[in-house]
Amino acid sequence: MQGRGLNRDIKMSLQQTTLLLLIILLLFFCMTFMITTSMISNRTEDDFQIRTSETATNNVVSAVEASLVNYNYLSRLIMINDRVVSYLKAEEIDKDREYEARSGIYEIQSLYSNIDSVYIFRNDGEYVSTGRGEYFISLNRSEYNNILDACGATVISINGNGSIRKSNDKPLLTISRAIYDINSINLIGILVMNISNDVFNDTFTLQNTSGMCILDNNGTFLCGNEEIASLYDSDYNSDNIVYKSIRIHGERKILIGRLAVKPLVVLCVSGQGLEAPPRDTIYPLILPLTAFILSGIICAWYITVNITRPIRNLSEAMEGTRSSGWLEKIDAKMPNNEIGRLAQSYDSLIEYLNELFNCLIEDEKNVRKAEMRVLHEQIKPHFLYNTLETISYMAVEENAMKVYDALETLGSFYRKFLSKGEREISLKRELEITQDYLSLQKLRYKDIFEDQYIIDDASLGYMVPKLLLQPLVENCIYHGVRPKGEKCIIRIATRMEEDGIHIMVYDSGVGMSREQIKKVLEESVEDDKKILSGFGLCGTISRIRYYCNCDKVVEIDSEPGEYTEVKIFIPKMRKTKVKGEE
């Protein structure tokens, strides 16, 4: 009954999923239609705005260039006017000369109504001027040098780069140039012409934009919409048109700008775009939307009939195998298609898993037996024969009591070593095995080393893998103490903490280089062959990692020529005491 209820839940879930998928597809297609329409509309409007703004910007740039050509020509007429030249060359000036010079300027200035004022400066600082309104002029040294550096060419600026200010603070377009004597080519004066910023207002009015302005490359405003001038940055100081998307009063606009005549920059904000796309553009978009909706309905029906229902049947058949308590093949008729092949694959997988489980169980048994057998075999060739040979020599050289003691120590070592075939023993028993081993090595190597023990009593009952310490002290003797050629210390220390036991094996032998340490740790990475056959340092480290199921349980600290210390950490998995051990 529970199985049938579960199958009904699955059936309803698949049906709901199919319906939900259909609804999502419909919503997706509708959203796609609206987004596409909006994108087309926005793109059309942006293109129109950009084209309109480009045209307006180029128109204003052309107007600025044409106006400056005219004013440049006008300034030249003033420079070569006889009365002006006479005023500049006169050693002494009087009111008549000033009047004549001013009259000559007025005659030329009257040709253009937008010239606000003209200043003619002599080399001695005296000047004559014309124009409407009041001005505050202070031609500073920096601006004076800029004019001279142009060598007679026109210098364009706004308010003379801060040297000129009108009483009403209205911005002015300033054209300055140095005046040279035609015959001697000597500097005889400076001309400063101030042009009203209203000169370009008519040009702005004719453009279909949301606003335009002219300013210099320092951001100093000249004319137009001053709010737009606040949007200027140095990117617009380019001979090519620069586009940027901005927002003005919450409305998205395109800001276009380019350099007109250095240093004047024209900025233009796009105007109103076109109306929404016409119906003949919308109707073709509705056709694919309708096709998408019909396709979604057909796909939902097809999935329900050909996929959802067969999968439900397969699920019910697979659910029926749960009651047996073991993995069994499904017993149900499946269609001759991909779902049927899926059922066949499931049956093959079940068969393979059952075989694999049996193999794994058998392999685990063999691993447990092989591990101890291989370790026992490894110790014989490199230790037992050497020890027996040592005892034989002692039997010749020493008395029988010492031979007896040596044999007793060897017997104790093997009794503790065998440990009834156990894979793990208490730390106390492991220390006893190691002490017996070191006692036997002392018989062979005399006083080549001294063994020390710093043992935390709380750690003695902690269970550790057998032959944990003996391979490490053996490594100390053969690779650390013997090569040094002098008496060394072998120290074993333990410390019990809340997270587990810390074991340190130290020797004051020849030490290890960083490369040697790295090689040992890399070669001891967990590997099936090393776990089964490892007896040396690398094999011992591999067994510890395998035992703890963790790679970061062994550290090696060493100083070449001074010492080597192997630090082992065994996490707190279980702490027991073997019966009969005290």
Tokens for 342, please give them: 């899926």
Instruction: Show the tokens assigned to 445.
Output: 């190597």
Using pLDDT thresholds of 50, 70 and 90, give the confidence band for residue 6.
very low
My answer on whether 184 and 66 are in the same domain is: yes
Do the domain assignments include residue 476?
yes
* Alpha-carbon span 36 to 18, nearest angstrom: 26
Q: Say if CB 521 and CB 556 are below 8 A apart.
A: yes
**Does one domain contain both 169 and 81?**
yes
Q: For the whole prediction, is pTM greater than 0.85?
A: no
Query: Which DSSP string do the residues of 266-334 spell out, in sequence order?
Result: EEEE------SPPHHHHHHHHHHHHHHHHHHHHHHHHHIIIIIHHHHHHHHHHHGGGGGSS-----S--
Look at residues 310, 328, 346 and tell me which one is the last residue of a structural domain: 328
- pLDDT grade for 211, boundaries at 50, 70 and 90: confident
Average pLDDT over residues 113-122: 87
Domain count, the chain: 2
Residue in 160, 166, 154, 174 with CA at minimum distance from that of residue 79: 154
Q: What is the pLDDT of residue 534?
A: 43
Q: Which of 78, 51, 60 is nearest to 222 (CA)?
A: 60
Q: Which amino acid is located at 121 in the chain? A: F
| Cα(310)–Cα(318) distance, integer angstroms | 12
The answer to whether residue 25 is domain-embedded is: yes
The phi and psi torsions of 248 (rounded to 5 degrees) equal: -120, 115
Distance CA 306, CA 60 (A): 69
184-193: pLDDT as tens digits? 889 999 999 9
Does a structural domain hold residue 441? yes
**Residue 530 sits in the same domain as residue 435:** yes
- Write a three-state SS string for 325-352: CCCCCCCCCCCCCHHHHHHHHHHHHHHH
Is residue 190 within 8 Å of 163, Cβ to Cβ? no
- Out of 285-294, 319-328, 491-500, pick the least confident: 319-328
DSSP bridge partners of 507: 490, 564
Residue in 338, 305, 285, 31 with CA at minimum distance from that of residue 297: 305
C-alpha dist (Å) from residue 227 to 52, 83, 211, 213: 20, 44, 9, 9
Which CATH number belongs to the domain containing residue 540 in this structure? Answer: 3.30.565.10
Q: Which domain holds residue 505?
A: 390-571
Q: Are residues 317 and 428 in the same domain?
A: no
Does any domain span residue 493?
yes
- Residue 104 pLDDT more than 70? yes
Do residues 312 and 416 both lie within one domain?
no
* Domain end among 313, 328, 343: 328
In whole angstroms, give the CA distance from residue 12 to residue 6: 10
- Which residue has better confidence, 85 or 38? 85
Both 212 and 71 in one domain: the answer is yes
Domain end marker among 328, 347, 362: 328
Whole-angstrom CA distances from 31 to 36, 46, 207 are: 8, 22, 38
Q: How far apart are CA 147 and CA 161, in angstroms?
A: 11
- The whole-number pLDDT of residue 275 equals 47
Q: Give yes or no: residues 195 and 304 share one domain.
A: yes
Whether 200 shows a pLDDT value over 80: the answer reads: yes
- Residue 492, classed as helix, strand or coil, is strand
pLDDT (0 to 100) of residue 539:
78
pLDDT of residue 573: 65
Separation of CA 130 from chain center: 66
> Same domain, yes or no, for 115 and 37?
yes
Low-confidence winner among 31-45, 199-213, 362-376 (lowest mean pLDDT) = 362-376
Same domain, residue pair 114 and 196 = yes
Contact 504, 565 (CB under 8 A): yes
- Least confidently predicted of 32-36, 112-116, 400-404, 472-476: 400-404
Identify the DSSP state of 575: B
301-331: b (≥16 Cβ within 10 Å) or e: eebeeeebbbbbbbebbbbebeeeeeebbbe
What's the pLDDT score for residue 247? 84
Q: Is the pLDDT of residue 344 over 50?
A: yes
Specify whether 395 is located in the same domain as 314.
no
- Whether the pLDDT of residue 290 is over 70: the answer is yes
Residue 565: DSSP 8-state: E
How does the average pLDDT of the chain come out, rounded?
A: 78
Same domain, 48 and 173: yes
The reply to whether 227 falls in a domain is yes
Structure tokens at 272: 């109103």
Determine, yes or no, domain membership for 114: yes
Percentage of residues in the chain with pLDDT exceeding 90?
19
In this prediction, residue 140 carries a pLDDT of 83
- Please provide residue 114's backbone torsions phi and psi, each rounded to the nearest 5 degrees: -90, 0
CATH number, domain containing residue 64: 3.30.450.20
Does the residue 382 lie in any domain? no
Asked, as a colleague might, if the bond just before 263 is cis with ω within 30 of 0, I would say yes
Measured in whole angstroms, the distance separating CA 229 from the mean position of its chain's CA atoms is: 38
Q: Average pLDDT in the 230-237 region?
A: 90
Instruction: Let me know if 46 is exposed, middle or buried by CB neighbors in 10 A (0-12, 13-18, 19+).
Output: middle
Q: In sequence order, which residues have a C-beta less than 8 Å from that of residue 304 and are 6 or more positions away?
A: 15, 18
Inside any domain, residue 375: no
* Range with the poorest average pLDDT among 166-175, 435-444, 527-536: 527-536
Is there a single domain that holds both residue 156 and residue 48?
yes
pLDDT digits (tens, 9 = 90+) for 550-577: 778 899 999 999 999 999 998 886 444 4
**What pLDDT score was predicted for residue 376?**
55
Query: Residue 214: what pLDDT?
Result: 93
